């Protein structure tokens, strides 16, 4: 079963967010006047692993947009750099140096990535902006997150910054 939200009678789509980054679907949300829908995954699916997840307003505790922790990105970047240096000292070339460069990029850019969290009692939708370069993608992500914030405000959902 692919991602196909089943909209109830009287339910109106307020935002349909389909963010594609580097030709890969990054963020997919359908926000209505009664619920939020997004693609889910089945762990051990034989044929189609994509399902449709749904949270109605009564279940939603909060909607939060923010930024990733700079400290966490710095720690992951540092681990990548140290791992790449150790791997290089073992006599390998290519991949270890790429790990060092990737670690530096994660440490510098990782804390600037934005996040989205729609939280409920038993489930949640969580998305983190991938590391990208270029102003066009940043503008699209900003527009998508603003439409989620507008949707939450207009429907009286608890909004966290």
Q: What is the pLDDT of residues 114-140, one digit of tens each?
A: 999 999 998 899 999 888 877 788 899
Question: Contact 63/149 with Cβ under 8 angstroms?
Answer: yes
Q: Is 12 helix (H, G, I), strand (E, B) or coil?
A: coil
Q: Which of 38, 44, 43 is nearest to 2 (CA)?
A: 38
Helix axes 70-89, 95-109, angle to 10 degrees: 160
Question: Contact 84/103 with Cβ under 8 angstroms?
Answer: yes
Q: Which of 129, 113, 99, 106 is nearest to 22 (CA)?
A: 129
Sequential DSSP letters for 24-66: EEEEEEEEESSEEEEEEE-TT-SS--EEEEEEETTTEEEEEEE
pLDDT for 48-81, tens place per residue?
Answer: 667 888 999 999 999 999 988 889 889 999 999 9
CA separation for the pair 38, 55 (Å, rounded): 9
Is pLDDT of 152 > 80? yes
Instruction: Give percent above pLDDT 70 in the chain.
Output: 95
Averaged over 94-105, what is the pLDDT? 91
Is pLDDT of 1 > 60? no
């Amino acid at each position: 079963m692919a991602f196909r939200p089943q909209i109830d009678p009287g339910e109106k789509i307020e935002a349909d967010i389909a963010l594609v980054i580097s030709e890969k679907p990054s963020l997919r949300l359908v926000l209505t006047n009664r619920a939020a829908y997004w693609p889910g995954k089945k762990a051990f699916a034989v044929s189609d692993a994509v399902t449709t997840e749904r949270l109605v307003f009564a279940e939603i505790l909060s909607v939060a947009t923010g930024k990733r922790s700079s400290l966490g990105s710095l720690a992951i970047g540092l681990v990548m750099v140290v791992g790449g240096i150790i791997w290089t000292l073992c006599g390998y070339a290519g991949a270890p140096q790429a790990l060092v460069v990737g670690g530096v990029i994660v440490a510098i850019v990782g804390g600037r990535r934005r996040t989205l969290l729609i939280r409920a009692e038993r489930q949640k939708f969580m998305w983190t902006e991938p590391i990208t370069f270029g102003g066009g993608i940043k503008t699209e992500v900003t527009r998508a997150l603003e439409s989620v914030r507008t949707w939450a405000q207009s429907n009286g959902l608890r909004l966290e910054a």
